[in-house]
Structure 1
Amino acid sequence: MHHPLSLYNTLTRKKESFEPLHAPFVGVYLCGPTVYSEAHVGNARGPVVFDVLTRYLRYLGYTVRYVRNITDVGHLESDADEGEDKISKMARARQLEPMQVAEQFANLYQRHVEVLGCLPPDIQPRASGHITEQIELIQEIITNGFGYEVNGSVYFDVPAYNAAGRGYGKLSNRVVDELLAGSRDNLAGQEEKRSPLDFALWKKADARHLMQWPSPWGQGFPGWHLECSAMSRKYLGQMSDIHGGGLDLMFPHHECEIAQSQGSHSHTDEARVWMHHNMITVNGAKMSKSLGNFITISELFEGTNATLSQAYSPMVARFFLLQAHYRSPIDISDEAMQAARKGYRKLMNGLRVLEKLVLPEGTERAADTAPADTELRKLTQDCFTGLNDDLNTARCIASLFNLLRKFNSYAANPTTLVQVSEAALTEAATAYRTLVQDVLGLQDEPRANAQDLLGLALSFYQEAKAAKDYAKVDVIRAALKEQGIVVKDTKAGVDWAYSEE
């Protein structure tokens, strides 16, 4: 099974033809959210991009196992090894059990990515449910000479790892000496580490730390980077096909993951292809919780953020995220969201145009359809060219608009349909439908408000009644009954109720 899909691999810094390790099986891992607060729009980009990637791989005939984890312990405030666990901190502030905080935000996150059209991952493991696997991984790393214990905490020994020729820094292209120079100023609270580059595999918990587990080194909790290495290995084996996340995870998170997998008994880079999507910016600055310039997913759907003048629906948000290539930054603004809404609706109208592409009664197709077929087939093929070139959804959408222009011209002048064969037209229409709905995952969002439409129908009913047009009165009554609505004529006027039959 050979497909022309190529993906950019951060590890090799180039686009490579995608060849799974054990075709037709493909193992994909996406670093999911730390569920200590509500996700912002930037956090939705990974799930949407990887949803399209897994949908496309399945379309190409692969059997995909897609793992997207939830970090519910171990992610410290500074993203390094300092400060408090983000979830514990939020739990203490709100006087809740940490699992309550994790559950609340995990549920919210799942609801949001679901309405954004993301199919659920095949496995959604939680860090807190895989403590034994993480302890086992740490023990392997210590056995191999790349981990050491101090006062109940365990650290990964980066200099020892590099002395063994393993290349810490190869993913992010960072030179260890430069990293060391940069971290000299930042030694506070790092007395336990032999080198400022070392990172925590296990942290000793003090009494106020709400989430802790017994381990060979005493009560504590796992390091943030460790979870993903352990869960990826458990569900996708020692080497998976694709591991992804935001560009901001490349260092230190993914760099440390590779070191852990290399330092364990697996001795692998954990994944063959490392994919990183770019950031979402607001007025040019990276959207982040720390900068306070973020728009939560709820705020986007409800229009309650000062950056936005109105609410934008989930499918418009999905279109917005897909109209840029995943490796480019995208800037969110009112103008950009309005343009996305227009583009999304245009694609949806396209699905309706397809229904109208029928030859007028009594016309025959031309025998010689070659030139028109060739043109239509090229427009159709172009839609896949972008996706095959490093999942370029922006190019795919542009090609779909070109194809749609052709459909619109047929619809406006149905006699031109005689120039194209049934086969080529069916192929093009199927490709359009499949790409829009099944690969890009853009579904139709009903815009009409049922209450308003009901009001409209009742006003027509009243007009017909006033005009004594009883035939029309019966038609409207029957049509509403079909929808489970009973029209009631009362002294006060016309009202409706739900049919109780």
Structure 2
Amino acid sequence: MSELKIYNSLHRQKEPFTSITPGHVGIYVCGPTVSGESHLGHARPYITFDVVNRYLRHLGYKVRYVRNITDAGHFEEEGREAEDKVSKKAILEKLEPMELVQKYTNLYHWAMLQFNNVEPSIEPTATGHIIEQIEMIKTIMEKGYAYEVDGSVYFDVKKYAASHNYGILSGRVLEDMLETTRELEGQDDKRNKVDFALWKKAPPEHIMRWPSPWGEGFPGWHIECSAMSAKYLGSQFDIHGGGMDLQFPHHECEIAQSEIAHGEMMARYWMHNNMITINGRKMGKSYNNTITLTEMFSGSNPILEKAYSPMVIRFFVLQTHYRSTLDFSNEALMAAEKGLQRLWAAYEVLQKLSWSGNGQAINEELDKQVRQLLQELPEFMNDDFNTAKVMANLFELAPIINSLKGGQIKMHEISEETFQLLQAGWKTFLVDILGVQMEVLGTDEDKLDGVLQMLINMRKEAKARKDYATSDKIRNELLSVGIQLKDEKDGSVSYSIVQE
């Protein structure tokens, strides 16, 4: 079997994978900023790296998979106008910041469970590692690559670039960035426009704040991942993953500050999944074209023609190679739904079949074809986790399985060994590696109640922001399928099944 090769964004080429410690792999993937609900675009990296995690375990590696929760300090570089996204959203929703964080972290965990994602080995939070971040900032300052101005600390990009390759991951050129970076209000305290914040002074109205050697404030976005990955995976680890949109500035800044703090490149392999687009435009909150995961599961977004199950979304994501753009459409999701049903039906058929040869001659050509299709599955996974090609081969095998059941192909036409390989390989790749699982945890009543509570919460949030059209739509559509909502005097909402 071929060796595993990974496309390394750092060198822009596929490279044979060799772990730092034989038999062990350390992976760090940038997790969600829990200031709001995850959307379809967020689903792609977590499904992608779930498969990477699963396949490395399948190869026999002991994997430490670290995926963080950003629950403070995620702001864009916008000078004094910069807002901690969690703190800002907490004010809007009239919640304590940690109440908001818990709400969206719970929702995120629930969605990951629906996708059948394996839980990470460690899930550190930014607020739980303030001390580590402060210590790392102090180290960078001691080495002369960061400076403090009025309670905020900035990384000196120009000084770093004089002796290091700033732009090594993203391909950006510092001189170009200095020319094109726009002037922003409140950046006069920076030495250079491209310098990024390691620590921000908290203005009086800022809710989330911690004491530091530079005064009360909160951490910059980039320092969080550098500090948490070093704590749990060491100063250098095997794989750093995330969406392509994180290459710059987030991952580029991580590399710079980590290299100064620890003296080496933080990760040996950098993996980036491409974007999910709608009509060719990246899905993102800034474009106002996101579809949240609860909307996907319930079909409540006006873009959607129907509700799509989490497994259909998982299947949709994995049908395209992770480095290729994936364009959303109802047609594509409905095609994924049909494809998933075909492969799962073939899996169930195969589980019930048993081989019987009766000494009759096998069909050498057919036997060879089946073996070839099966042998290619690990080859495709070893070629930079090409799930799209794995699925293509499974689709070629599905009609053969159905023909074995229907009798168009006699069981003796393939050897017993090939049949056993087919049974084992189908489960290994469809269920264990691709993570497709049709059984959903809980009883039907549990599932119904869970979905209804989700819709009730969505309606409550819509009413709170005076979006009465959405609120009424949820109530009316539930009523059309026989479920009546009742607003109680204490502010709670109950539901009942309308008897026809």
For the aligned pair, the TM-score class normalised by the smaller chain equals 0.7 to 0.9
Residue 148 of structure 1: how far off its partner (Å):
0.7
Unaligned runs of 5+ residues in structure 1 are: 452-501
1:465-484 equivalent positions in 2, closer than 5 A: none
Corresponding position of 1:70: 69
Alignment pair present for 1:351 and 2:350: no
Aligned-partner residue type, residue 295 of structure 1: I
1:304-319 mapped onto 2 (5 Å cutoff): 304-319=300-315
CA distance in 2, matches of 1:330, 1:359: 40
| 2:29 equivalent to 1:26 | no
> Hey, what does 2:84 align to over in structure 1?
85
Q: Quick one: distance in 2 between partners of 1:93 and 1:402?
A: 52
Structure label with greater radius of gyration: 1
Instruction: Assess if the C-alpha contact under 8 Å between 1:77 and 1:86 holds in 2.
Output: no
State the identity as a percent.
50
Match of 2:416 among 406, 419, 422: 422
Counterparts of 1:438 and 1:380, CA distance in 2? 15
Deviation at 1:419, TM superposition (A): 2.6
Pick closer, same or farther for the CA change 1:153–1:446 going to 2, 3 Å.
Answer: closer
3-state secondary structure, aligned to 1:170: coil
1:376 Cα deviation (Å)? 2.0
Cα 1:91–1:450 change in 2 (3 A) is closer
Q: CA deviation at 1:187?
A: 3.7
Instruction: Compute the displacement of 1:11 (Å).
Output: 0.3
Which amino acid in the other structure matches residue 168 of structure 2? K
| Structure 2: distance between partners of 1:94 and 1:315 | 31
Aligned AA (2:371): R
Q: Conserved in 1, the CA contact under 8 Å of 2:155 and 2:195?
A: yes
What pairs with 1:32-431 in structure 2 (closer than 5 Å)? 32-76=31-75, 82-163=81-162, 165-183=163-181, 185-264=182-261, 266-359=262-355, 364-366=358-360, 371-413=365-407, 416-431=410-425
Assess if the C-alpha contact under 8 Å between 1:356 and 1:411 holds in 2: no
Aligned residue for 1:122, secondary structure, equals coil
How far, CA to CA, are the matches of 2:246 and 2:202 in structure 1? 25
For residues 446 and 116 of structure 1, do their structure 2 counterparts lie closer, same or farther at Cα, with a shift above 3 Å needed?
A: closer
Q: What is the alpha-carbon root mean square deviation over aligned residues?
A: 1.9
Cα deviation code 1:290-347 (max 9, x no counterpart): 1111100000000011111110001001001111111111111110110010011111
Ranges in structure 2 where 5+ consecutive residues have no aligned partner: 446-500
Q: 1:3 to 1:134 in 2, by over 3 A?
A: farther
3-state secondary structure, aligned to 2:410: helix
Q: Which amino acid aligns with 2:7?
A: Y
Shift of 1:352: 1.4
Q: Secondary structure at the match of 2:287?
A: coil
Q: Give the residue type in structure 2 aligned to 1:95.
A: K
Deviation track 1:7-39 (CA, whole Å, cap 9, x = no partner) reads: 111100000111111120000011001000111
Q: Is the 8 A contact 2:2 2:379 kept in 1?
A: no
- Indicate if the aligned counterparts of 2:4 and 2:383 stay in contact, CA closer than 8 A: yes
1:235 is paired with a residue of what secondary structure?
Answer: helix
Q: Partner amino acid for 1:54?
A: N
For 1:26 and 1:80, how far apart are their aligned partners in 2? 38
Distance 1:181 1:256, change over 3 A: same
Q: Match of 2:22, SS? A: coil
CA contact (8 A) 1:373 1:420 kept: yes
Instruction: Output the TM-score relative to the length of structure 1.
Output: 0.85
User: Take 1:386 and 1:81, find their aligned partners in 2: how far apart are those partners?
Assistant: 49
Structure 1 residue matching 2:228: 3-state secondary structure: helix
Q: Does the CA contact (< 8 Å) of 2:355 and 2:416 recur in 1?
A: no
In structure 1, distance between residues paired with 2:200 and 2:351 = 61
3-state SS of 1:145 partner: coil
Question: Is residue 432 of structure 1 aligned with residue 426 of structure 2?
Answer: yes
Please identify, of 32-41 and 365-374, the stretch whose mean Cα deviation from structure 2 is larger.
365-374
The secondary structure found in structure 1 opposite 2:14 is strand
Query: How many residue pairs align between the two structures?
Result: 444
Verify the 8 A CA contact 2:351 2:423 in the aligned structure 1. no
Aligned to 1:274, what secondary structure does the other structure show?
Answer: strand
Q: Deviations over 1:104-136 (max 9, x none)?
A: 101101100110111110100000000010011
Contact 1:279/1:287 (8 A) holds in 2: yes
AA aligned opposite 1:51: D
